[in-house]
Structure 1
Amino acid sequence: MYPTLAIFAVLLLFVFGCNTPAKETPTQTTDVSTMTTEHKQAIEKEISGLIKEFFQQVEKLDIEKCMTYFENTPDFQAVNPDGTFGDYNALKKLNADGFSQMKTLTVVPTKEAIRVLTDSLVLYTFSMEQNATLKTGQKLKFEHVAGTMLFNKINGAWKATFYQESASAPVAVK
């Protein structure tokens, strides 16, 4: 009888264990203050490479590739140059509309800062000049463009979950 009771007890524990929902454990992140200099520099290098690739896609006017650097979730936020808020799709549409009017676009970075907040959260800030040639042949210079991207490491990949851009009005170039 005791072996039967013991087997029943084990089965009961197994059944209750299988029916208990798993507890979610928060993702462990390492605060920048406890990170080694090498770890922080490695993250800065990853973000720097990612940004270089991103701006190359911007210059190619490839909206589909550009948007792969952003996380398409309901939590994504964008602040557009005109001060309006947008989500992933609004940012994509706004930039697709702009790209569709351009024949060429060059990006000339003037300053950038990469601030590692944790091992999975990085703030990237930039200022640049942009030179565009419209399909009409008109040339425009955006002398002051600045922006901020907040990157989160999601499933092993860095994705921007917030984007803000400010720009002065373009100047026509002869």
Structure 2
Amino acid sequence: MNMAINGLPLAIGLVVLCACVAFIITTGTSYLLSASGNIVYDLYKRYSKKEISDKKLLKMNRYVVVALGVVAYVLAMYFPSVLAIQMYSYTMYGASVTPALLATILWKRATTTGVLSSMVVGGVSTIVWEVVLNKPFELNSVLFALPMAVITLVVVSLLTQPKENMSGILVKN
């Protein structure tokens, strides 16, 4: 964008700058709409006990888009750079989702309770390490959160009865 402002003739610079802004806006709205759709349709509608009209779901989707936009703005103000946000999101994903995903594929003894517990502990451990403890010794939070998530996954899965594993195959008790 700096080149469009300072390095190109005015008419061409305006076109390039408009294209850049359009790209940023469409990417942002796509992320917000996708996340909102996942929350409203995949979570709320699927697990709601009552029938919900399309009009109400659309209205709810709009509110969730605004709420997610506010959360995104707050997160953007909290992090000093895009790289910091990316590192934090990869750490959160690596500590909470990766062990659960691998366990569902590779470990037949993984239970739903163990996987969900692992995801929660991985996410909470990342937040505690980063926000509450303020990154002790300047170590990345994945060094703390990933082992916590894996230990939780194994312990909770071993302590709970497997009715069926994550792939839907019945397991003998």
How high is the TM-score relative to the length of structure 2? 0.24
Q: Which has the higher helix share?
A: 2
Q: Which has the higher strand share?
A: 1
How high is the TM-score relative to the length of structure 1? 0.24
